[in-house]
Structure 1
Amino acid sequence: MIAIDSMMVCLDLSDIDEVLVRFTRSICERLPVKKVYFVHNIKTTELSDEFREYFGDLNISNEIEGNIADIVTEHFANCTEHEILVSEEPNTEVILADLVKRYSVKLTLLGKRMSDKSTGALGTKLLRILPCSVLVFPETARFDIANVLTPIDFSDTSVHALRLSKSLADQLGLNLEIIHVYKLPTQYFPLISEEKATRKAEEVVKGKFADLQKRHQEIADVPYTLVRAAGKTVAERIYMQLEKGKHDLLVVGLKGHNPIPSLSLGSVPTELYNMDIDIPLWLVYSEDVIK
């Protein structure tokens, strides 16, 4: 069973905050969450001289905390134990990573605007630095989740994400589908028949699925789809499958074996995050990777 001891919700004082708080309530009503931390960091380097001149000794932390408290009271009150944390630090990513460690946060919720409104730079940095799984909620996403898609490449990372997805589906009565995107070694065409290569590739992948189902009986009945990349990236094919299948949640495993943090996220999760996907994206680290 999926249970979340502590969850962090990152707010930025924009209109998406209300949406995030309401979605947090939706999560807490469906999953056992012990405590939620609503957080915001005042980036001190962005406070202009004009601001300081006009407002002087104004305690901006108290003002912001009060603003967040109003939203939480309206959309979250009496739902789950929670706390509002407002900090004043020059580096938002570092202070949020510190909060994750300090409060043993298992899941962080991030809001995401469409690309025409935001570069997404901070979100990408947070994905690389936060030592916990991250649930990205686009501003256009719905709260109701019925159909889940999980890509798999047969790595330990993706198998962990798949098993979590299956637990979530069983717990909440959701429909789960697996997708595997495969590529053909096109440099050998036309020496090798493309039709023959495709048939062979699918035989190999089906064998891998059969072996996976033997090792993890709980996913034996989960339907899977094989998709050839065929000139598209893996992320692009996953995106096309999302649109085709009308899914409500995408669960992707994150790599963590690379000692260089900037390279540990993986190219597919990075590309998916940067797309204008209008459903929640759950980026999952295993406990072993986090440790």
Structure 2
Amino acid sequence: MNTLKRIMVGLDLTPMDGTLISYAAFICAELQIEKVYFIHVEKTLDIPQEILRDFQDKQLPVDENLRQMIASKVEPAFSGSNTAVEILVEEGSPLKTLLHWAKIKNIDLMLVGRKLRLRGSGVLAQKLLRTGKTGVLFVPETADPHLNRVLVSVDFSEYSEMALTKVLDSAMNRPNTKVYCLHIYQVPTGYRTLGMTYEAFDERMRGFAQDKYDRLLSKFPELRDRAELLLVRQEDEDDIGELVVMEAKRVRTDMLVIGAKGMTAAAHFVLGSVTEKILRHDMDIPLMVFKMETQEVGFLEALLS
């Protein structure tokens, strides 16, 4: 059963919206999404006169004009689609408003833009990832809608198993989609105390990973004919985010998927998680980050609700 039923797409009325709308239409068709919400948030709907001149119907309220502008781009992309579409135009703090509506609408996944050359810092998207409970799909402005190869970063924890569950549940109607399970490991510095060479202990670590992968296959038998284990060794000076992205590009994956660990309220302000390291290097591969549905965020959620 598909666990992704309702998605939300954040629009900012820039050229990035075109990529997001077309990618959302692709995802909705491929994953049989039931409903998609397109949302635009303005800090204030007291719009300057020079912008008002672009409105088709100056007699309508500002939010209605903005809704019409968005609908003119969304409706052609979803013509003939089985996915229900709703457009929201809201006033307020973008972060608080997006989190509020994601909760109200019981959203399973939020699509946000990942700008390369277009103007925009991407700070809002990362704040959504840090403070919200909803999974986030970062869509680069150069994204090409394909889903033939999916790479899932696994550490054999409950978080990576959760990510695999989401991927398999969503891709069951795509039996030809190849799934790569990427595991990055290190050789412990204490290998010498065991009287082993570096090469011998490296081989042991790879064997441990293979054993864990075999046990993983017993939980996900549908992986056997469509998945491949990729093992990459991380040296002390290596950036794990760069390693993940390099391997994703090597296998020409269409999407990179990770299961993000929950953080305490205090840790939300600490950079350096694997997810954020990947974001620093991943500029042109769609990145889907899933979170535990029961994960508690802490007092930040109360402040932002």
TM-score range, shorter chain: 0.7 to 0.9
**Matched residue type, 2:38:** F
Question: By how many angstroms is 1:212 displaced?
Answer: 2.3
Question: By how many angstroms is 1:244 displaced?
Answer: 0.9
Question: By how many angstroms is 1:267 displaced?
Answer: 0.9
Tell me whether 1:34 sits opposite 2:34 in the alignment: yes
Question: CA–CA distance in 1 between the matches of 2:267 and 2:17?
Answer: 28
Tell me whether 1:252 sits opposite 2:258 in the alignment: yes
Give the alignment partner of residue 274 of structure 1, picking from 264, 277, 280: 280
Give the alignment partner of residue 224 of structure 1, picking from 225, 229, 235: 229
In the alignment of these two chains, the number of paired residues is 287
Over the aligned positions, Cα root-mean-square deviation in angstroms equals: 3.0
Deviates more, 1:184-193 or 1:20-29: 184-193
Q: 1:228 to 1:193 in 2, by over 3 A?
A: same
Deviates more, 1:10-19 or 1:180-189: 180-189
Question: CA–CA distance in 2 between the matches of 1:202 and 1:148?
Answer: 22
**C-alpha deviations, 1:120-176, integer Å up to 9, x for none?**
211111111222111111011101221111110011001111222233443213111
Tell me whether 1:15 sits opposite 2:15 in the alignment: yes
State the TM-score, normalizing by the size of structure 1. 0.87
Q: Which residue of 1 aligns with 2:218?
A: 214
Q: Which residue of 1 aligns with 2:89?
A: 86
Question: CA–CA distance in 1 between the matches of 2:196 and 2:172?
Answer: 43
Question: CA–CA distance in 2 between the matches of 1:81 and 1:116?
Answer: 29
Question: CA–CA distance in 2 between the matches of 1:155 and 1:193?
Answer: 28
Q: 1:265 to 1:155 in 2, by over 3 A?
A: farther
Q: 1:77 to 1:169 in 2, by over 3 A?
A: closer
Residue pair 1:96, 1:130 contacting (<8 A) in 2 also = no
Question: CA–CA distance in 1 between the matches of 2:230 and 2:80?
Answer: 42
**Matched residue type, 1:195:** E
Q: 1:113 to 1:53 in 2, by over 3 A?
A: closer
**C-alpha deviations, 1:92-112, integer Å up to 9, x for none?**
111110001111111111111
Which residues of structure 2 form unaligned runs of 5+? 53-57, 298-305
Q: Which residue of 2 aligns with 1:148?
A: 150
Q: Which residue of 1 aligns with 2:302?
A: none
Question: By how many angstroms is 1:232 displaced?
Answer: 1.4
Q: 1:53 to 1:226 in 2, by over 3 A?
A: closer
Question: CA–CA distance in 1 between the matches of 2:77 and 2:201?
Answer: 55
